[in-house]
Amino acid sequence: ESMQEPYRLQFHFTPPTGWMNDPNGMVYHRGEYHLFYQHNPDSTVWGPMHWGHAVSKDMINWEHLPIALYPDSLGTIFSGSAVVDVQNSSGLGTKENPPMIAIYTYHNAALEQKGRDDFQTQGIAFSLDNGRNWTKYKNNPVLKNPGIRDFRDPKVSWYEEGQKWIMALAVKDHISFYSSKNLLDWKLESDFGADVGAHGGVWECPDLFKLPVKGTKEEKWVLLVNINPGAPNGGSGTQYFVGNFDGKRFEMDPQFAASLQRKPLVASTVNGQEGIWLDYGRDNYAGVTWANVPERDGRRLFLGWMSNWDYANVVPTEKWRSAMTIARTLELENTPAGLRVASMPVKELQNLYQQSYTFKTQPVTSTLSLTEQASFSTPTYDLQLELERLSPDGQFAIELSNDKDQKVLIGFDATRGQYYIDRRKAGSHTFSDNFGGIHYAPRLATGATFPLRLVVDVASVEVFADGGKTVLTDIFFPDEAFTNVRLIADKGSFNLASGKITSLRSIYA
Ligand code: FRU
């Protein structure tokens, strides 16, 4: 594949051909970040799920590998996770050569068609050669279905304090926690969430991990819960809860729980319940974090599927569908709104840095072309800006455009106190009624300076505002890449305090 087709992202992970959705089995092992993904190799729409596979040394440049898991008599292979069984607790490898173990959902469509409710079960597979070859466990499934239609997406992690494995499983409207000493026999410990958070759709793809509270000696647990539909700007999205996990149950931090009760920060509230969202854009779903990242690294590394079930099957790409977000580090921070998870692009993005230009401090009273000032243009870049002295009810926007009158606007609306992405005129959108639109996100920071970082590929923008406390990810399909960047003072004026644009090399160059 040339990987140069229209809309082919140039530094985000895409499948060479065929359909892709959720990231699966993210695990670090022997110098490689593994990325598996929900994959239909025979079509560009969702269908019988396989686990596609790729590896990377930096989460930016990827080597595509053969399909890791194929459907079998128990079903097709839905989402799940992978671990390295370091102590060989499963007995499926040896201590010298610990097995990589994938824990995934079997989806048995034949049973579903018969009207049964128990068609989703959990199975495992193991690899003794760094994920190159996989063997399904002979006594699958390891977790049978108790008669619940939505029973899937196991995320397994090692619970050091209790020397056992914990599985977070999405069960319709809640998360169930199971424990195991050997990854083969699982015991139900507790359920969380049926009565809290956003419930506009079914709960899917959970993740549970510990994070230090930045600037303190405290640690808290974070529970990611993907939900579809019910996201604040429509369709699928990722909410989270902050609290404590004691090996059996997850309990919300009282302050975090209180912040859930406050007045919704974004207009759309589903069923009167508001969630707290990792990303307020339309296109970051089913994201989870990498297992087994070395302690000396210390980062919690996240990546999501850069699409939305509202239109994923009909976006205008021909040979493949969907991409992943850029890999991100997650940190837990105290903000005026409460404890919040901040995301920023991984530092490895710098591996693609090329030419850069640093802007001088200057006022913006109407429009200012950054790309003219930098006197280079590029379809793929990392733009970092600090804006200040915004007039009281002023609005600023960063406009990414092409010469075909197509554009996407990233801005701040001071009267609402919200950031937004406006992709109404960003190119092709007729494939779906609810693709075009403006997507809002609350500003959590209160500082007078607006630090903004935009990571722009030929068909996507990822906005990290206020050090990643507010994040918006949106895709778009312009006829030509958005190589013009302008700052616009919509009402009032502001100051460009500092700024830098850096072009990003294509991972296919
Ligand atoms: C989330 C999801 C998962 C499921 C998978 C099927 O996008 O619906 O719950 O395992 O996709 O492809």
Could you confirm whether 22 is annotated as catalytic?
A: yes
How far away, in angstroms, is 78 Cα from ligand 1 center? Answer: 6
How much is the pLDDT for 409? 98
Atom of ligand 1 nearest to the CA of 49: 12
Q: Note down pLDDT in tens along the chain; length 509 residues.
A: 689 999 999 999 999 999 999 999 999 999 999 999 999 999 999 999 999 999 999 999 999 999 999 999 999 999 999 999 999 999 999 999 999 999 999 999 999 999 999 999 999 999 999 999 999 999 999 999 999 999 999 999 999 999 999 999 999 999 999 999 999 999 999 999 999 999 999 999 999 999 999 999 999 999 999 999 999 899 999 999 999 999 999 999 999 998 887 655 554 443 345 789 999 999 999 999 999 999 999 999 999 999 999 999 999 999 999 999 999 999 999 998 899 999 999 999 999 999 999 999 999 999 999 999 999 889 999 999 999 988 887 899 999 999 999 999 999 988 888 999 999 999 999 999 999 999 999 999 999 999 999 999 999 999 999 999 999 999 999 999 999 999 999 888 999 999 999 999 999 99
Instruction: Name the token pair of 124.
Output: 């495992």
Q: Is residue 204 within 8 Å of 152, Cβ to Cβ?
A: yes
How much is the pLDDT for 337? 86
The structural architecture, per CATH, of the domain 351-504 is: Sandwich (2.60)
How far away, in angstroms, is 358 Cα from ligand 1 center? Answer: 43
How far away, in angstroms, is 203 Cα from ligand 1 center? Answer: 10
In this structure, the chain runs to a length of 509
Cβ of 66: how many Cβ atoms within 10 Å? 8
How much is the pLDDT for 262? 62
Ligand 1 pocket check for 286: Cβ under 6 Å:
yes
How much is the pLDDT for 2? 85
Of 483, 481, 353, give the one whose Cα is nearest residue 427: 481
How much is the pLDDT for 263? 54
CA 185/CA 136 separation, integer angstroms: 16
The set of residues, in sequence order, having a beta carbon less than 8 Å from that of 319 and lying 6+ positions away, is 1, 5, 16, 17, 18, 44
Phi and psi of 104, rounded to 5°? -140, 170
Ligand 1 pocket check for 40: Cβ under 6 Å:
no
How much is the pLDDT for 267? 45
Ligand 1 pocket check for 21: Cβ under 6 Å:
yes
CA 492/CA 509 separation, integer angstroms: 42
Ligand 1 pocket check for 205: Cβ under 6 Å:
yes
Listed by start position, the domains of the chain span 18-345, 351-504
Task: Evaluate whether 18-345 and 351-504 have a shared fold.
Answer: no
Ligand 1 pocket check for 49: Cβ under 6 Å:
yes
43, 45, 202, 205: which to mutate for ligand 1, most atoms within 8 A of CB?
205
Ligand 1 pocket check for 426: Cβ under 6 Å:
no
Distances (CA, A) of 181 to 128, 289, 290: 20, 22, 21
Q: What CATH class is the domain 18-345?
A: mainly beta
How much is the pLDDT for 268? 45
204, 228, 288: which to mutate for ligand 1, most atoms within 8 A of CB?
204
How much is the pLDDT for 1? 60
How far away, in angstroms, is 49 Cα from ligand 1 center? Answer: 9
CA 300/CA 304 separation, integer angstroms: 13
Prediction ipTM score: 0.99
Instruction: Name the token pair of 116.
Output: 């049964």
Atom of ligand 1 nearest to the CA of 79: 10
The set of residues, in sequence order, having a beta carbon less than 8 Å from that of 364 and lying 6+ positions away, is 396, 487, 488, 489, 493, 494, 495, 496
Q: Is residue 485 within 8 Å of 370, Cβ to Cβ?
A: yes
How far away, in angstroms, is 493 Cα from ligand 1 center? Answer: 45
Nearest CA to ligand 1 atom 12: 78
The set of residues, in sequence order, having a beta carbon less than 8 Å from that of 282 and lying 6+ positions away, is 231, 233, 234, 235, 308, 310, 437, 439, 473, 474, 475
Q: Which pTM was predicted?
A: 0.97
CA 264/CA 478 separation, integer angstroms: 33
**Count of alpha carbons within 13 Å of 154, Cβ hemisphere only?**
32
Helix, strand, coil % in the chain, rounded to nearest 5: 5, 50, 45
